[in-house]
Amino acid sequence: MEGFVGAGRPLWWGFVVVGTVRVGICRGDIWLMDRAVNGIVLGMFVKTTRRRRGDKVYEYLSLVESVRDGPKVGHRTLLRLGEVTALRESGQLERIVAALERHLGRERVDVETLAAEGAPAVGAVAAIWAVWQRLGLDKWFAQVGARRGAKALGDAVFAMVANRLVAPCSKRRLVEWTVSDVVMPDGWSHPSLDQYYRALDAVAAVADDTETYLYGRLCDLTNLDLRLVCYDLTSTYFEGSTRPSGRFPSRVFGYSRDRRSDRPQIVIGLLCTSDGIPIAHRVFAGNTNDVTTLPAVLADLTERFAVGRICVVADRGLMSAANIEAVAEAGFDHLLATKLRRDAHTAQALAAIDEDTAWVEIPQRGCRAADIRLDDGTRTVVVHSDTRARRDTARTAQIVAAAEAKLQTLEDRVRAGRLKDPAKIGAAAQRILGVGGVGRLFDVEIAEGRFVFHYNEDAHTYEELLAGRYVLATSLTPTQADTTRVVDYYHQLQAVEARFRVLKDFLRLRPIRHWTEQRVRGHVAVCVYAALIETLINHALAAADVRDPDLGDQHLTAARALRDLNRIRRHQLTAHSRRITLTTRQTPLQNRTLTAIGADTHTWNKATIT
């Protein structure tokens, strides 16, 4: 469109060429400019004339030419179009306007025919898709699918991962979710329920290769810090039948971190960098001893990831002489929390504390720590928290008082002759002492018609020494990591614990609705990939300094960001045979979030009519 301003009133801001006639637009009116006389542009426009007949007013339209003759401007009627009502009712006015609008490159829709067809969410899935593509997982799973003859594999895996992050549901509900609730990426196919199930089998089959590929991509895309890796375990239980299954041998009873010892379970091991990026996971049988899982993780680090010398950080459940030796043989350093009780290292380190101990204050952790070298040369760090000491002391006093009252009642029953059988006396005592580990603090004597209890003084002394403290054992020298750094390294385990909370609470790892080994492993892998994307979104928001509007001292979390982005809708309207699509206008926070994540939104501000 060319720009043009007339010499006198009316002024128009532009015109287009329609055949041999130029059409000008002036403050909402249409002008037709067809020729120039003596260097003066003559324009045409549609003029409205009102005439009263009786008590009615009629409007007539005319095509009028504006003529400038020196300082004077006059109008000359070229064509009388007719009365407005008659033109409208006959459809002629509609046809005239439509014919002209086609040359303006604009689309016109009759508002009265508009109908809303739906408004699926677009923002959250677009953000997840941006990270998915950046990791190259779209191409990776496309290649895996091509090798397995499953063209829809990549689309199925992305849908399952995105669903975990936005609105976790069953695979049956997932089919409906992708069709009705969200806008999936361009070119996305619509996998069937059976294709989703088969996709889980494929994900499980290539899980190790996928993690190796992701490790390489993460090294390229991020400043992946592998001087320190953190490893921890969790468990997740199953509803339904508790009977053993030959199709799922790993689903067995074991120590439950969810306090559901009545349900069969599996154990999940997760390996993360110090800043919480998951790089590998393992699924173990539900009755697996924690200590036995570490060798598989060490094999991952040496064989699949080929890392250099690093420090493996793990919690007390993995502390054993065999594991420490295995870490050393792999060429790694270790930092492990020792067991609080019945551990020689812990007892010796605590016993070494006296009034001459040199404590290092660590205010950012709310504690102080002391380096203690044991007789066998092992370096330990004893960590003490006053807050934790008060809590431990109060709890010990509470359980001791409660147990003592019950034991006294039992002693009175036996003394009164109401309970004589030693087996029954022992069973009653066990019910009291078997709760909360209080049994270690009491000694009992049981015989026919006799029951006596008293404090275990050594145990009480140890509890007083242990109150508010824990012990770390490490192969790191003071030069590699001073006392404060050792404590900071151990606290990096919180990153793994945070990922477990994400898996169970945000991503809804449970309930697990699959009953074969392969599909459960595939489901766990999908959840781990979702946790990886959640972590990378958190990092992107922190790097861009996107703040939580309600908690200004904190960065926006991935969970809240995706919840907010999911409010961006792709509104779908129809008018006769025309389909209109427009996207919700972004808030400033949504715009900053999408920019930080790197989502492509360049078409969102334009409505489309097809």
Find all residues with CB under 8 Å of 244, minimum gap 6, and list them.
Answer: 251, 252
The confidence score (pLDDT) of residue 462 equals 93
Confidence (pLDDT) at 373: 95
Three-state secondary structure call for residue 316: helix
Assign 575 a pLDDT band (cuts: 50, 70, 90): confident
With contact defined as beta carbons under 8 Å apart, do 381 and 485 qualify? no
What are the backbone angles phi and psi of residue 479, rounded to the nearest 5°? -70, -40
Task: Kindly report the CATH number that applies to the domain delimited by 219-348+358-379+475-512.
Answer: 3.90.350.10
- Please give the average per-residue pLDDT across 507-515, as a whole number: 89
Q: What is the distance between the alpha carbons of residues 297 and 307, in angstroms, rounded to a whole number?
A: 12
Residue 456: CB atoms within 10 A of its CB come to 16
Please check the confidence at residue 114 and state whether its pLDDT lies above 90: no
In 3D space, the residue among 536, 557, 535 whose CA is nearest the CA of residue 546 turns out to be 557
> Does the reported pTM lie above 0.85?
no
Residues whose CB is less than 8 angstroms from the CB of residue 303 and which lie 6 or more positions away in sequence, other chains included: none
Q: Range with the lowest mean pLDDT among 267-271, 414-418, 455-459, 606-610?
A: 606-610
* Cα–chain center distance at 414: 59
Instruction: Tell me how far apart the alpha carbons of residues 283 and 262 are, in angstroms, rounded to a whole number.
Output: 20
Cβ atoms of 322 and 347 within 8 Å: the answer is no
Residues 230 and 313 sit within 8 Å (Cβ to Cβ): yes
Instruction: Please compute the mean of the pLDDT values over residues 534-559 and round it to a whole number.
Output: 94
SS3 call for 82: strand
- Predicted confidence at residue 66, as pLDDT, reads 82
Q: How many CB atoms lie within 10 A of CB 605?
A: 10
What digits encode the pLDDT tens for the residues 182-192? Answer: 999 999 999 99
The answer for 510, left when phi > 0, alpha when psi is -120 to 50, beta otherwise, is beta
Helices 123-134 + 517-543 axis angle, to 10 = 100
State residue 113's pLDDT score: 81
Burial label, 510 (beta-carbon count in 10 A; 0-12, 13-18, 19+): middle
Task: Report pLDDT digits (tens) over 436-480.
Answer: 889 999 999 999 999 999 999 999 999 999 999 999 999 999 999
- Please write the tens of the pLDDT for every residue from 391-425: 999 999 999 999 999 999 999 999 999 999 999 99
- In tens, the pLDDT along 314-337 reads 888 787 888 888 888 888 899 999
Distances from the Cα of 492 to the Cαs of 40, 313, 361, 486, 517, in angstroms? 80, 8, 19, 10, 32
Q: Are 368 and 359 in contact (CB under 8 A)?
A: yes
Q: What is the pLDDT of residues 136-171, one digit of tens each?
A: 999 999 999 999 999 999 999 999 999 999 999 999
- Separation of alpha carbons 595 and 604, rounded Å: 13
Amino acid of residue 534:
E
Tokens of 174: 């997932």
Residue 346: pLDDT above 50?
yes
Residue 26 or residue 428, greater confidence? 428
Give the distance from CA 279 to its chain's centroid: 16
Question: Would you say 124 and 584 are in contact if contact means Cβ atoms under 8 Å apart?
Answer: no
**pLDDT tens-digit profile of 226-247?**
788 889 999 999 988 888 888 8
Strand 379-384 to 29-37 pairing: unpaired
Q: Classify residue 485 as exposed, middle or buried by CB count within 10 Å of its CB (0-12, 13-18, 19+).
A: middle
Judge whether residue 265 has pLDDT over 60.
Answer: yes
Buried b (16+ CB within 10 A) or exposed e, 118-136: eebbbbbbbbbbbbbbbbb
Token readout for 171 is: 């695979």
Which one, of 230, 279, 214, lies nearest residue 489 by Cα? 230
| Distance, CA of 71 to CA of 451 (rounded, Å) | 125
Residue 381 is predicted with a pLDDT of: 96
Report the pLDDT value the prediction gives residue 494, as an integer from 0 to 100.
86
Among residues 262, 244, 242, 246, which one has the least CA distance to residue 254? 262
**Residue ranges per domain, the chain?**
14-108, 219-348+358-379+475-512, 388-466
Classified as helix, coil or strand, 237 is: strand
Mean pLDDT to the nearest integer, 548-564: 93
pLDDT for residue 300: 82
Look at the block and give the residue holding tokens 């067991």.
Answer: 339
Task: Decide if 441 contacts 456 (C-beta within 8 A).
Answer: yes
pLDDT of residue 42: 58
From residue 115, alpha-carbon distances to 103, 122, 182, 568, 570 in Å are 27, 20, 19, 20, 14
For residue 107, name the pLDDT band (cuts at 50, 70, 90). low
CB atoms under 10 Å from CB of 43, counted, come to: 22
What CA–CA distance (Å, rounded) separates 86 from 64?
A: 20
Tens digits of per-residue pLDDT, 33-74?
444 444 354 578 888 899 888 888 889 888 888 887 777 878
**Six-digit token string for 432:** 């009291």
Sequence-distant (6+) residues with CB within 8 A of 293 are: 233, 267, 269, 282, 284, 318
Helix (H, G, I), strand (E, B) or coil at 476: coil
Q: How far is Cα 334 from Cα 343, in angstroms, rounded to an integer?
A: 18
In the block, residue with structure tokens 């570490």? 294
Give the span between the Cα atoms of 338 and 316, in whole angstroms. Answer: 5
Average pLDDT on 527-532 reads 96
Which residues touch 420 (CB under 8 Å, ≥6 apart)? 414, 448, 449
Determine what percent of the chain is predicted with pLDDT higher than 90. 58
**pLDDT at residue number 8:** 37
- Residue 106: per-residue pLDDT: 67
**pLDDT one-digit tens code per residue, 179-220:** 999 999 999 999 999 999 999 999 999 999 999 999 999 988
